[in-house]
Structure 1
Amino acid sequence: MEHSFHYLLLANQATVHRQLLAKLKDTGLTLGQPKVLDYLQDHDGANQAEIARACHIEPASLTSVLNRMEVKALVERRTQKGDRRSFAVYLTGQGHSMALRVRQAFEELEEQAFAGVSEAEREQFLAVFRRVYGNLKEGER
């Protein structure tokens, strides 16, 4: 079991989350918030449905994540095109600073994960991993 695909996938995900939160311990960020900050860094002004889909978070859970991030002044929600039911989410100045810190932590973890792995092996692994992801996404349809 320890070498099966599902075990290694879950073990790697848990390890990355644990190490990421340890790197960001002093920020007070909670699970879910780093990936939202990272996404918004490149998609500032995205709506909640886009964020939920891209970050693989249930919409109801994302609402809670964004509420906590708003209290911390990391994001702000603005109505879109006069529709009070539709919000765009924007990083605040503090949110931009935190997103940079999160991006740096992700980059450090990725470098650690690929230590001793050649660039060619890394590209090959990522290509296969993307294909595996695509296969699994097809199974959801």
Structure 2
Amino acid sequence: MDDTLHYLIMANQMLVQKALLEQLKDTGLTIGQPKILDYLKDHDGSNQKEIAKACFLEAGSLTTILNKMEEKGLIERRILNGNRRSFHIFMTEEGKKKQQLVSQAFAKIEEKALSGVSAEEFQQFLAVYGKIYANLQGERNE
């Protein structure tokens, strides 16, 4: 195992993705869909631009994922306030059921990942990881 920051970030992301897809294999959800449902849990009715930014997806990729989610009955697109140029995305009842499965899967993965990690260590990790995120976003210039 390589112990560089970039390797550990990449490896952990892939392990989480693999575990998530394994736990959700019988749900019919595919790559990209769980994170959108996870985002919509707290931001139902967001427009596509907001979802793309929050989920780190290109507009074209998001459109493809949303089309498949709409075909499966997980989401619906609505025009709000008569603005025909901007669709807002809402979870359907089926989407909400799948989102609950996503939340349960994330909880199991986090429980496993944090096994043997104290609450204090976890808070320190979040603080440092938050700084790394801010640095990469360009928010911190110290």
Superposition TM-score, scaled by structure 1 size: 0.96
Give ranges in structure 1 of 5+ residues lacking alignment: none
- Between the aligned residues of both structures, percent identity stands at 54
Letter in 2 for 1:8: L
Post-superposition shift, 1:85?
1.5
Residues 9-64 of structure 1, C-alpha deviations (whole Å, 9 max, x = no match): 11100111011000000011111100000110111100001111111111111000
Question: Which residue pairs with 1:24 in the alignment?
Answer: 24
**Cα displacement (A) at 1:80:** 2.0
Letter in 1 for 2:65: V
Alpha-carbon deviation of 1:82?
A: 0.9
Give the drift of 1:135: 0.2
CA RMSD, 1 decimal: 1.1
Q: Which runs of 4+ in 1 moved over 4 A?
A: none
Larger proportion of helix: 1
Distance (Å, rounded) in 2 between the aligned partners of 1:98 and 1:85: 28
Tell me how far apart the structure 1 counterparts of residues 59 and 3 of structure 2 sit (CA, whole Å). Answer: 33
DSSP-derived class of the 2:49 partner: helix
Note the residue ranges of structure 2 that are not aligned, 5 or more in a row: none
Question: Residue 64 of structure 1 corresponds to which residue in structure 2?
Answer: 64
Q: Does the residue aligned with 2:26 lie in a helix, a strand or coil? A: helix
> What is aligned with 2:34?
34
Partner residue, 1:85:
85
- Where does residue 95 of structure 2 map in the other structure? 95
Partner residue, 1:8: 8
Q: Give 1:122's aligned residue.
A: 122
Q: Which whole-Å deviations, capped at 9, do the CAs of 1:76-119 have from their partners, x for residues lacking one? A: 00012112121000000000111011011111111111100000
Corresponding letter in the other structure for 1:28? G
Larger displacement relative to structure 2 (79-88 or 93-102): 79-88
Aligned to 2:54: 54
In structure 2, give the amino acid aligned to 1:51.
Answer: I
